[in-house]
Amino acid sequence: MTDAAADGLAVRSQGLTKRFGQQVAVDQVDLRVPEGAVYGFLGPNGSGKTTTIRMLLGLIQPTAGRHELLGEPAPERLTAVLPRVGALVEGPAFHPYLSGRANLARLDAGDRTADPRTARQRIDGALERVGLLAAAGKRYRAYSLGMRQRLALAGSLLTPRDLLVLDEPTNGLDPQGTREVRNLIGSLAAEGRTVLLSTHLLSEVEQICTHAGIMRQGRLVAQSTLTELRAAATPRVRVCTDAPADAARVLRELGLTEVSHDATGATGLPGAIAPEKIVVGLVADQVPVRGFAVQSPDLEEQFVKLTGEGFDVSG
Ligand SMILES: Nc1ncnc2c1ncn2[C@@H]1O[C@H](COP(=O)(O)OP(=O)(O)OP(=O)(O)O)[C@@H](O)[C@H]1O
């Protein structure tokens, strides 16, 4: 057993780097995806998510660094471990005039490790898994976008997988299709499978992920559980008052940092100073306090701070 397996990591990379000519697309990325996690690989377009995923799956060679999937080192053991890894990177080329079932049959027939005698069982099992059994006989071109993406997922679930690597699985889907795919990811996770999914949608990470890694210009700038990311957000106090300048002065005197004021009040970072002490200080200085709040920045503010860019928060 390797260290990654011993650590309970489904994916681990160290110094994973990819250069295209002069451009560094992925810069020394150290991923740690715990077994059983739904890991949101989050970053704006062009930040290096797809390139990282392609390296993890052995679709392109890293310029430097190494990684392990399910405890097996790449590239030596990649061929051995890939049958346990379901991937959705480029959508499979499905035939528009064939049914969903016939398309999966073609895909299954291309898998030399799969026993043809049990093909029907595998195919119907995968269709059922993604909720497409009733529509299995329909032509692919009649499928909605959500159904098409679910069929692609069914294609990666023809054999049981311990790890699923999904590149932007809800990209281009309407709200209904997005819900379908997210529900499916949720049920795969509930079965104990590890899911690594890339996305540029913060809301997706908030809704379905237990862990997140944030990419910015090829670098992994943060990686932790969602709970930790939320907790890392620095709280700020806000005083509502008719005397904002006085309030700001008192906040500074009390030792708050980054103090500023506007027409309706003052704010600052309290650090270790207890909120009740701040209120007492304000009142002692006869600042008329109309309102007092400790505000924690939400995840979006936190991510914008880390990545220096906004996220598409829709979806
Ligand atoms: N084959 C390639 N040749 C040259 N440059 C590439 C190649 N593949 C990716 N890049 C560049 O590497 C950078 C990272 O791209 P990548 O596709 O990995 O980002 P991403 O985060 O997945 O974004 P997106 O969501 O748009 O796919 C981009 O600047 C891209 O132009």
Burial class (CB in 10 A: 0-12, 13-18, 19+), 138: middle
Residues 6+ apart with CB under 8 A from 228: none
**With b meaning 16 or more CB within 10 Å and e meaning fewer, what string describes 113-137?**
ebeeeebeebbebbbebbbbbebbe
Mean pLDDT score of the chain? 90
Asked whether 307 lines ligand 1 (CB < 6 A), one says no
What DSSP state is assigned to residue 119?
H
Closest listed residue to residue 149, CA positions, set 124, 123, 177, 183 = 177
Q: ipTM for the complex?
A: 0.94
Asked whether 50 lines ligand 1 (CB < 6 A), one says yes
For a ligand 1 pocket test, name from 24, 27, 42, 47 the mutation site with the most ligand atoms within 8 angstroms of its C-beta. Answer: 47
For a ligand 1 pocket test, name from 50, 196, 216 the mutation site with the most ligand atoms within 8 angstroms of its C-beta. Answer: 50
Task: Examine the pLDDT at 273 and tell me if it is beyond 70.
Answer: yes
Closest listed residue to residue 18, CA positions, set 55, 46, 70 = 55
Asked whether 164 lines ligand 1 (CB < 6 A), one says no
Q: What are phi and psi of 52, to 5 degrees?
A: -60, -50
Compute, in angstroms, the gap from residue 56 CA to the centroid of ligand 1.
15
Q: What are phi and psi of 75, to 5 degrees?
A: -85, -10
Q: What DSSP string runs through 147-204?
A: HHHHHHHHHHTSS--SEEEEESTTTT--HHHHHHHHHHHHHHHHTT-EEEEEESBHHH
Residue with tokens 């209904």: 176
Asked whether 17 lines ligand 1 (CB < 6 A), one says no
Compute, in angstroms, the gap from residue 50 CA to the centroid of ligand 1.
7
pLDDT in tens, 19-61: 999 999 999 999 999 999 999 999 888 999 999 999 999 999 9
Chain mean position to CA 162:
18
Q: Letter for the amino acid at 259? A: V
What DSSP state is assigned to residue 36?
T
Closest CA to ligand 1's atom 7? 20
pLDDT in tens, 261-272: 999 999 999 988
Question: In whole angstroms, what is the distance from residue 94 CA to residue 148 CA?
Answer: 9
Residues 6+ apart with CB under 8 A from 147: 100, 132, 135, 177, 180
Q: At what angle do helices 100-109 and 145-156 cross, to 10 degrees?
A: 30
Rounded to whole angstroms, what are the CA distances from 129 to 184, 273, 293?
A: 8, 53, 47
Domain layout of the chain by residue ranges: 3-231, 236-295
Give the model's confidence band at 314: pLDDT under 50 very low, under 70 low, under 90 confident, else very high.
very low
Asked whether 199 lines ligand 1 (CB < 6 A), one says no
CATH of 236-295, one of 2.20.28, 3.90.380, 3.30.70, 3.40.30: 3.30.70
Asked whether 46 lines ligand 1 (CB < 6 A), one says yes
As a whole-number percent, the residues of the chain with pLDDT over 90 amount to: 66
Closest listed residue to residue 173, CA positions, set 185, 158, 190, 157 = 185
CATH of 3-231, one of 3.50.50.60, 3.40.50.720, 1.10.3720.10, 3.40.50.300: 3.40.50.300
pLDDT in tens, 91-125: 668 999 999 999 999 999 988 888 889 999 999 99
Asked whether 43 lines ligand 1 (CB < 6 A), one says yes
Give the pLDDT score at 286: 95
Q: Pick the atom of ligand 1 nearest to 167's CA.
A: 22
Compute, in angstroms, the gap from residue 49 CA to the centroid of ligand 1.
8
